[in-house]
Structure 1
Amino acid sequence: MTISLVPLKESSVDIVETFNRWNNDPAIVHLIRPVRSEEELTVEQNLTVESLAERLQTHDIFLIYADDHLVGEVNVMYDAAHLYRQEPGSAWLGLVIGETEGRGRGVGTTALNLLEERLRQQGTPRIELGVFAFNEAAHRLYEKLGYEEIARIEAFTYWNGQFWADIRMEKRLT
């Protein structure tokens, strides 16, 4: 399987529909957005062509392809206000493997390696991300790739009858 990252340059109806399907998929919604109650998990959050175009002004978004099939996206935001460590030039990372066939097959690992190389080449000093404490598979993935825990924000999101921490992790690139 060949994994590639393709920069998203402009918003389109097809991409918005795909992102909305992923972002509201009951199988993964609890993994990709924080909520404060069980009810919030079922509230649809939908992008529009216009809102995705606005997001492209503040995020670098890369579509993840496995062979020729779109399976996910990874996005980067620089010097985000929600960084735990406010170090200039830091990248905040978001990753969604939206298609079932892209999960558990090394797609995330390869996509992150490709992204890290791209960020190194442009001189980004570090990456920070958050992973919900119940998401053990993602936590293992980030640890395997050299990300280290720097903090825990307790009671950050609700899932399966309780509140869970957001584990903040970082990787130095330079």
Structure 2
Amino acid sequence: MLHADSLAFQTAVEINHSDGGIRPARLDDLPSLLELERRFPTDRLSRRSLRRLILQTQTGLFVYEENGVVIGDIVVLYRRNSTRARLYSLIVHPACQGRGIATALLSVAERAATQRGCDVLSLEVRADNGAALHLYQKMGYTVIARVENYYDDQSPALRLEKEVGRSCAFFASLPAALERPGCTSCTPVR
């Protein structure tokens, strides 16, 4: 369901000054978002899809803006009555990569998912995209599966997950003996 005022939740997400120029996407960002999509020839989002993602209440679409120019974006999808969110897309302009923009966008997406009550953020990444895989693993994501023929060009994907929610923080505060099994992002107080 589309709502003209659906940006209310996205706007409520805590965005720190250390997050740079990150803000919720607006409809007037469509031309910039489409330009970013054109720089990546496979699996592009259409104008219609981007417009819908901006307006949907079950989506978080954030942009990284620098000097009035959108140079990155991230899309997170939420399901009703679910504690799982899905990172659908993360793009940074090729000329701006390596500056921590993807890390900042990912951090905001994780906080948004947590604030929405999600415990797990999952994603798929091309198996041959070493740079993206390195970023996700550095941020605490774990490979849980390989999915053959995932993309339009039949390339395989790796499925990754990270526990990001409140329950993870709760378990992180427990003594090491009670540490949540399998949670790679928890750092128990010892």
- TM-score scaled by structure 2? 0.65
2:160 is matched with 169
Question: Displacement, 1:147?
Answer: 0.3
Q: RMSD of aligned C-alpha atoms?
A: 2.7
1:104 pairs with 2:98: yes
1:11 is matched with 27
Instruction: Between 121-130 and 60-69, report the one with greater CA deviation.
Output: 60-69
Q: Distance in 1 between matches of 2:159 and 2:76?
A: 15
Q: Distance in 2 between matches of 1:165 and 1:146?
A: 21
Q: Distance in 2 between matches of 1:143 and 1:92?
A: 16
Does the CA contact (< 8 Å) of 1:61 and 1:74 recur in 2? yes
In 2 relative to 1, CA 95–4 (structure 1 residues): closer, same or farther, beyond 3 Å? farther
3-state SS of paired residue (2:109): helix
1:54 counterpart letter in structure 2? R
Q: Distance in 1 between matches of 2:116 and 2:151?
A: 33
1:63-97 deviation digits (Å, cap 9, x = unpaired): 113465421111111139xxxxxx92211113333
Structure 2 regions of 5+ residues with no counterpart? 1-17, 169-190
Does the CA contact (< 8 Å) of 1:66 and 1:102 recur in 2? no
Structure 1 regions of 5+ residues with no counterpart? 34-43, 81-86
Question: Displacement, 1:137?
Answer: 0.3
- TM-score scaled by structure 1? 0.71
How do residues 69-108 of structure 1 correspond to structure 2 at under 5 angstroms?
A: 69-79=69-79, 88-108=82-102
Q: Which has the higher helix share?
A: 2
Instruction: Give the length in aligned residue pairs.
Output: 146
How do residues 8-157 of structure 1 correspond to structure 2 at under 5 angstroms?
A: 8=25, 10-12=26-28, 15-25=29-39, 28-30=40-42, 33=43, 46-48=46-48, 51-55=49-53, 56-57=55-56, 58-66=58-66, 69-79=69-79, 88-157=82-151
Q: Distance in 1 between matches of 2:88 and 2:103?
A: 13
In 2 relative to 1, CA 153–110 (structure 1 residues): closer, same or farther, beyond 3 Å? same
1:82-134 deviation digits (Å, cap 9, x = unpaired): xxxxx922111133334233212211112212322333233211100000001
Q: Which has the higher strand share?
A: 1
In 2 relative to 1, CA 74–126 (structure 1 residues): closer, same or farther, beyond 3 Å? same
Does the CA contact (< 8 Å) of 2:36 and 2:71 recur in 1? no
Q: Distance in 1 between matches of 2:100 and 2:50?
A: 27
Q: Distance in 1 between matches of 2:106 and 2:19?
A: 14
1:104 counterpart letter in structure 2? G
Q: Distance in 2 between matches of 1:123 and 1:67?
A: 33
1:34-58 deviation digits (Å, cap 9, x = unpaired): xxxxxxxxxx86314xx54432214
